[in-house]
Structure 1
């Protein structure tokens, strides 16, 4: 990440917004600000940030509605989005992840942990996915599945799938080593690095989302009970 990355901080509490921006700027990031959902959508459309930190409880358009618009109405699956919210009920966390958030951080938060999340997610989003059965350009081809990490494109039987950055990384990790069984902790480390505080539950949610998006191809992602998951080239 040699070039400066721009982070959009969507937060209606000025003190919290300033705190987040301060710590990001200290680490070399440029920051943009939005205090409402409507303002956030305008900034995303106009300024194309590299990553979004999204509060949920916003005036007017809620954070969840911002997420729905970005992921489904606009189809921006490649934009990394981290929810940062005081709403920590499991239902909210699962809903946010299912709508396409790449991670969910509860308030109050550690600024160091937040910055570590930002760095890890940007590193993953801008790095080639793990190699496997593919060419020198890191393409992955397993059975009916093909993936092009450079273009953030994934196809099942020539049908393109709209995957978030996290879903893409998860599928690439599993498909790069067909038949290998990964524990949830190994998946977390393989996707993000051990410094990335994502939960095992969020991996399960993203696996479920991947299976839905892949249709019949989702059967290739096998649950190994008591251990984790694997990708089989014959679903």
Structure 2
């Protein structure tokens, strides 16, 4: 597994690299955001460990640009920063980060979080699962999600791994209300580290790709004070 470390402090970058390489990971280090953006286009890492405060192009902007760039891989992003205020966590997650750690950190915990990110997948007991509603179809094994269009046509949805898993979870039980804890348990189980509001980030990103009007969702509805539910007619 390839990991891109984006950190402007050499001592911290070396600490991260040594901890990960001891566990068998292949690491590449960049000192600033612009260098990292170029490296991302060439390397296509599985995980990016990203410092928030970087020279040139900061971590928030870099995270947003990576999420906008198409590529063979959609990497997990672990944001690493000395700033621990709640608003910074929210902003970091809203730009597309998957997890968040505050300096100073434990190298052992960092390795554990990286492993947890790499284990994230939709658990379905090895069955061949295909879910279908009036407007969507999700083939869990082939990792294909489509949306039905007019005149009997359909189009493939370009979803990240987490967006696909989230849609598959929703479409598996139309009408069910899910709270954040249930969605985290369903998608990540005991592998989850971080802020529960990362669920809100992925729901918002999913809505942008499946809703006619993301600001007024038709399918993924918010249940105030509880969580979310998916509304569509199930097809046997």
Name the counterpart of 1:61. Answer: 57
* Aligned residues: CA RMSD: 2.9
Q: May I ask how many residue pairs the two structures share in their alignment?
A: 226
- Which residue matches 2:221? 222
Task: Give the gaps of 5 or more residues in structure 1.
Answer: none
* Cα displacement string for residues 184-227 of structure 1 (whole angstroms, at most 9, x for unaligned residues): 11211222222412322222232233223322384222333443
Correspondence 1:86-235 to 2 at 5 A: 86-124=82-120, 127=121, 129-131=122-124, 137-149=128-140, 152-157=143-148, 158-216=154-212, 218-234=217-233
With normalisation by structure 1, the TM-score equals 0.80
List per-residue Cα deviations over 1:140-177 (Å, max 9, x = no partner): 33331223456654333334444333333222222223
What TM-score do you get using the length of structure 2 for normalisation?
0.80
Change (3 A) 1:160 1:99: farther
Aligned to 2:80: 84
Alpha-carbon distance between aligned partners in 2 of 1:36 and 1:151, rounded to the nearest angstrom: 37
Preserved contact between residue 93 and residue 104 of structure 1 (Cα < 8 Å) = yes
Secondary structure at 2:45 match in 1:
coil
Which protein has the larger Cα radius of gyration, Structure 1 or Structure 2? 2
Moved segments of 4+, more than 4 Å: 148-153
